[in-house]
Chain A
Amino acid sequence: METHDTAAALSAALKGRSRTRVLGLTFDDVVRYFFGGNAAVAVVVLLLILVFLLKEGAGFFEMNASNLNVYRRAGLEYVDLMRRPLDQFAILTRGINDARLARFKALLASGKDVEAANEALKDFDAFADEFGAAAGDARGIVSDLTEVVSAVKVRAQVSADKELEREMLLHAGRKDEAAAVKVDVVDFAREIKVLVEASTGWKAAAGAFESAIRKSTAKAHGAAWAKGDFLLSSTLDKSDIFLKGLPEVEKQMAAWRFDEPVPLHRSFTAFLFGREWLTASFWQDWYGLLPLLSGSLLVSVIAMLFAVPLAISAAIYVSEVATPKEKAVIKPYIEFISAIPSVVLGFFGVAVLGTALRSLSEVSWLQWVPGFPMSERLNALTAGLLLALAAIPTIFSLAEDALTNVPKHFKEASFALGATRFQTLVRVLVPAALSGIISAVLLGFGRVIGETMVVLLCAGNRIAIPDFTQGLGAFFQPVHTMTGIIAQEMGEVAQGSIHYRALFMVGIFLFLISLVINYIAQKVVRRYRISIG
């Protein structure tokens, strides 16, 4: 105790200062805490981002649940159940039309004139007409019901709005005005009776629909004129599968209850795995992430396909092969590329690259490429190429750092054993720097998936899951992305609406993705670093 006191006195004497303390803190402490507080800003900002995105976005799930509830209660779901076989049927008729077109073209190519070709396809046409007429009454019933339930839904929405208005007035203490607001409560049970009544008519129509398809396809199966037509037979097979699926639809319709509440987790899965992002629709709004996520991923994958080989080759070239003079030019130049603002890249895509790529895709000797000629000027490839250029500087500088940081004696040892420069590179340098290179690629990916302006301007902005059945052709389809949709729709939505909150949810998803990518990149660097030292 005593020694401690002496030590304190001694140190005070040595410092030779009397220190004023405020709240027990010296001036130096205050300065220290001030700086520490500023360093903590990074943590605070991250937390604030999360808090404020959640504050604006969290209400989404509740609203989406009620959105889905109205969808069920007003009977829209029921009508969609009816509509589904009709939609599938429409796809089947399209398949038959395609088959006819293919045969017609083949006949023309074999030297027949138009009339003779039509004559040869007489049996086919008879079948196609019969098949196409199968839908019959069913279509009419569905379109009538569509109007009925739409009206119910609109009334439900109006009454919900009135209810909200009344609550707001009550909240503000204006009781008289609140009492004056007339809320027209929709009796869903009564409204749904119309549906139930109509469903007997639907049953008859559906039965007729099914037997008509059966009859016409039975004729086509094994008929002489249908032999050897691959397109037709595959469509017929699909129609058999379709017929087998019909009882399932009946069962779903029988099991459907308008008053069964939609569980809250459905609202969650409808967002994460929803296949449609449809807003301001007269029928039903859907907020599904999949079209946006798949668009973002497609564009990013294209960008990485170009950026990774180019950037890593450039990194290897600059760090191992280039002469010092070349290096002095190339390195700053590539760093310069990172200074190009993304909106300028996007503008370049709109003004120059999109058109150039499309005219390239119209060149005759390139027609073997699937998806050529491109139907749209702005598509996933246009955006992907520009994003690649945006990602190259990031990947390049980090990979180049990783390669330069490999100790010299690794290289020297390899040379001493008689390895060529290339062998040294492949067997020694790249493996030693691999963790750094992988994390460079990951961070480049993070940069690409979070990039906004390029995809907003160049990706074509069509909200649909890319059609991957076209193989490589999917690269040339217009897509929409998570970043792009926020930038595009945020300015137009009403504050506090479900659409507004859905956009914030997309933002939260993006934020989490960026955190995960960062986390993995750091893990990779730490975990797989070869001990170099």
Chain B
Amino acid sequence: MNMQTHPFTKPQTSAVRAERVAFAFFRGATYVVLLAATIIFGVIFIKGADTVFTRHFPFVNVAFLTEAPETLHVFEHDGQKHELGDRAFRAYMEEKKNPTVSEENYVYSAGGIFPCIIGTFFLVVGSMAIALFVGISAAVFLNEYSKGGRVVEFLRLAILNLAGVPSIVFGLFGFGLFVLFAPVLGPTPDPSHLYLPLGFAYLNFSGWGVSLLSGWFTLAFMVLPVVITASEESLKAVPKGFREGSLALGATRWEAIRTNVLPYAMPGILTSSILGIARVAGETAPIMFTAAYVVSDRLPWQVDRFVDVFFQGVMALPYHIYVVSSKIPQNAYTERVQFGTAFVFLALVLCIALSSVILRGRLRARYKW
């Protein structure tokens, strides 16, 4: 191989060698990160798939997705090993005339996680509704009405700082304000708390208790910075000419915003806010003391009066994962529900995030001004 040195080949100086080593290091570091994440996804998906999917039709473990958690009973009888959920266990015992068996119990390890899925759904819908309403309004003010200056600087600073507050602090705050102090309308004054006579009724500051309502507001305030930032970006992307054209035709500022800005910004706002949904669905610390029950035997809509829907705690997927991974022992029986729950939860959150990424890409392709 007698190649003549090309005049434009890179010379092999030490600088070039250093570059090669450094870039290899950067590449290595990047792939280490990707690998670590892939291992986590892989382990949870592979182990969780055992619980969530079955080898026979319908290939999905319907019971796991549609039943409430139950205690798992493991025992031997008639020379056979049985693993039964609470109800099945009782039925079995009745059928066999209550034989004495030595059994082991594992709470929450049988049945499914349906109430948790429903609870998380309720939490997400309510808190996102509040966060979107407040967040979009705030973004409209910041982007459309404000003319800069100190007050706006201060507002932006507050939003940035709010984004940095640890989630557990939101939990404490929600507990202090919503669970213990928030006002409730009642026919009689409650002497053990502060109350305010309204004439026709009394406003008792007795708090909402551990409830959906408390959880909604706590989560909504936590996710507010995300929603505001996302909304502002979408509003900024609407060309100035849209507003000016509308104003020039005699519309008031609000009319211009209502007819010529918000309709074009809305899809962007909603898709970017999906990331907020992923955050709301994924957080555990803020709902630990404000909205989550370890176990609740009723579904959110099984209440006596309609208002009770808002004043009840719910089970939630993230809190359930915390409970099953810290309060029950690690073994082959409990592993199924642990990995199964983690699988469902992770898949749910990732789907939400993925849809956000895809929708954002589509939107960018559609609106090009």
Closest residue of chain A to B217, judged by CB?
Answer: A45
Pair B30/A313 contact, Cβ less than 8 Å: yes
CB distance from A500 to the nearest CB of B (A): 10
Cross-interface CB contact of B318 among A343, A425, A490, cutoff 8 Å = A343
Cross-interface CB contact of A450 among B165, B176, B350, cutoff 8 Å = B165
CA distance A15 to B255 in the complex (A): 13
Q: Chain A binding site: helix, strand, loop or mixed by DSSP?
A: helix
Cross-interface CB contact of B162 among A27, A42, A347, A495, cutoff 8 Å = A42
A457 sits at the interface (CB 8 A): yes
CA distance A27 to B253 in the complex (A): 11
Closest residue of chain B to A522, judged by CB?
Answer: B160
Inter-chain contact total with CB atoms closer than 8 Å: 265
A55 sits at the interface (CB 8 A): yes
CA distance A341 to B161 in the complex (A): 22
Which residues of A are found within 8 Å of B63, using beta-carbon distances? none
B237 sits at the interface (CB 8 A): no
Cross-interface CB contact of B26 among A53, A56, A314, A449, cutoff 8 Å = A314
Cross-interface CB contact of A310 among B29, B138, B160, B161, cutoff 8 Å = B29
Pair B165/A452 contact, Cβ less than 8 Å: no
CA distance A334 to B32 in the complex (A): 11
CA distance A446 to B221 in the complex (A): 18
Closest residue of chain B to A345, judged by CB?
Answer: B40
A305 sits at the interface (CB 8 A): no
Pair B224/A340 contact, Cβ less than 8 Å: no
Q: Which of A487-522 contact B (CB under 8 A)?
A: 487, 490-491, 495, 503-504, 507, 510-511, 514-515, 517-519, 522
CA distance A98 to B33 in the complex (A): 44
Q: Which of A239-288 contact B (CB under 8 A)?
A: none
B173 sits at the interface (CB 8 A): yes
Closest residue of chain A to B165, judged by CB?
Answer: A514
Cross-interface CB contact of B33 among A49, A310, A423, cutoff 8 Å = A310
Cross-interface CB contact of B325 among A311, A396, A457, A490, cutoff 8 Å = A457
Which residues of A are found within 8 Å of B353, using beta-carbon distances? 335-336, 339
Pair B40/A321 contact, Cβ less than 8 Å: no
CB distance from B131 to the nearest CB of A (A): 10
Please judge, given known A-B contacts A453-B322, A510-B166, whether A45 and B282 are in contact too, CB under 8 Å: no
- Count residues on chain A whose CB falls below 8 Å from chain B CBs: 87
A69 sits at the interface (CB 8 A): no
CA distance A45 to B19 in the complex (A): 49
Residue with the highest number of chain B CB atoms closer than 10 Å, among A453, A507, A518: A453
B335 sits at the interface (CB 8 A): yes
Pair A43/B172 contact, Cβ less than 8 Å: no
- Write out, one digit per residue, whether chain B residues 155-166 have a CB within 8 A of any chain A CB (1) or not (0): 101111110111
Pair A350/B325 contact, Cβ less than 8 Å: yes
Which residues of B are found within 8 Å of A336, using beta-carbon distances? 37, 350, 353-354
Please judge, given known A-B contacts A311-B33, A483-B285, whether A518 and B345 are in contact too, CB under 8 Å: no
Pair A518/B250 contact, Cβ less than 8 Å: no
Which residues of A are found within 8 Å of B44, using beta-carbon distances? 344, 348
Pair B30/A490 contact, Cβ less than 8 Å: no
- Count residues on chain B whose CB falls below 8 Å from chain A CBs: 91
Q: Which of B108-164 contact A (CB under 8 A)?
A: 133-135, 137-142, 144-146, 154-155, 157-162, 164
A220 sits at the interface (CB 8 A): no
Please judge, given known A-B contacts A53-B169, A347-B321, A517-B164, whether A317 and B346 are in contact too, CB under 8 Å: no
CA distance A425 to B353 in the complex (A): 32
Pair A511/B278 contact, Cβ less than 8 Å: no
A136 sits at the interface (CB 8 A): no
Pair B154/A344 contact, Cβ less than 8 Å: no
Closest residue of chain B to A425, judged by CB?
Answer: B22
CA distance A32 to B34 in the complex (A): 46
CA distance A118 to B71 in the complex (A): 56
Which residues of B are found within 8 Å of A53, using beta-carbon distances? 169, 172-173, 176
Residue with the highest number of chain A CB atoms closer than 10 Å, among B28, B145, B168, B250: B168
Pair A317/B30 contact, Cβ less than 8 Å: yes
CB distance from B187 to the nearest CB of A (A): 22
Which residues of A are found within 8 Å of B133, using beta-carbon distances? 38
A399 sits at the interface (CB 8 A): no
- Write out, one digit per residue, whether chain A residues 325-360 have a CB within 8 A of any chain B CB (1) or not (0): 000001011111101111111111011100000000
Pair A35/B145 contact, Cβ less than 8 Å: yes
Closest residue of chain A to B346, judged by CB?
Answer: A344
CA distance A52 to B282 in the complex (A): 25
Pair A351/B26 contact, Cβ less than 8 Å: no
CB distance from B183 to the nearest CB of A (A): 14
CB distance from B301 to the nearest CB of A (A): 26
Pair B30/A330 contact, Cβ less than 8 Å: yes
CA distance A420 to B326 in the complex (A): 53
Which residues of B are found within 8 Å of A96, using beta-carbon distances? none
Cross-interface CB contact of B159 among A42, A392, A450, A495, cutoff 8 Å = A42
B27 sits at the interface (CB 8 A): yes
Pair A341/B345 contact, Cβ less than 8 Å: yes
Q: Which of B168-182 contact A (CB under 8 A)?
A: 168-173, 175-177, 180-181
A31 sits at the interface (CB 8 A): yes
Q: Which of B208-267 contact A (CB under 8 A)?
A: 221, 224-225, 228, 250, 252-254
Cross-interface CB contact of A337 among B32, B37, B164, cutoff 8 Å = B37
Please judge, given known A-B contacts A314-B26, A341-B282, whether A39 and B330 are in contact too, CB under 8 Å: no
Cross-interface CB contact of B140 among A35, A392, A456, cutoff 8 Å = A35
Pair A491/B289 contact, Cβ less than 8 Å: yes
CB distance from A64 to the nearest CB of B (A): 18
CB distance from A309 to the nearest CB of B (A): 7
CA distance A503 to B281 in the complex (A): 26
Pair A341/B168 contact, Cβ less than 8 Å: no
Which residues of A are found within 8 Å of B352, using beta-carbon distances? 339
A12 sits at the interface (CB 8 A): no
CA distance A460 to B16 in the complex (A): 47
B92 sits at the interface (CB 8 A): no
Closest residue of chain B to A336, judged by CB?
Answer: B353
Pair B173/A332 contact, Cβ less than 8 Å: no
Pair B175/A490 contact, Cβ less than 8 Å: yes
CA distance A308 to B353 in the complex (A): 24
Which residues of B are found within 8 Å of A345, using beta-carbon distances? 40
CA distance A341 to B342 in the complex (A): 10
Pair A339/B15 contact, Cβ less than 8 Å: no
B303 sits at the interface (CB 8 A): no
B365 sits at the interface (CB 8 A): no
B283 sits at the interface (CB 8 A): yes
A318 sits at the interface (CB 8 A): yes
Pair A511/B33 contact, Cβ less than 8 Å: no
Residue with the highest number of chain B CB atoms closer than 10 Å, among A316, A344, A351, A421: A344
B64 sits at the interface (CB 8 A): no
Cross-interface CB contact of A43 among B19, B40, B154, B169, cutoff 8 Å = B154
CA distance A456 to B325 in the complex (A): 11
Please judge, given known A-B contacts A333-B34, A340-B40, A449-B166, whether A42 and B325 are in contact too, CB under 8 Å: no
Which residues of B are found within 8 Å of A352, using beta-carbon distances? 43
A471 sits at the interface (CB 8 A): no
Please judge, given known A-B contacts A515-B164, A518-B161, whether A341 and B134 are in contact too, CB under 8 Å: no
CB distance from B93 to the nearest CB of A (A): 32
CA distance A423 to B19 in the complex (A): 8
B167 sits at the interface (CB 8 A): yes
Q: Given A56-B180, A347-B342, 14 other A-B contacts at CB below 8 A? A: A38-B135, A39-B141, A42-B228, A310-B29, A318-B30, A342-B282, A343-B319, A345-B40, A348-B43, A348-B342, A351-B338, A487-B288, A515-B161, A515-B164
Q: Top 6 A-B pairs ranked by shortest CB distance?
A: A450-B166, A341-B282, A313-B29, A38-B137, A422-B19, A35-B141
**Can you list 5 residue pairs at the A/B interface with Cβ under 8 Å?**
A330-B34, A332-B357, A339-B352, A343-B325, A450-B164
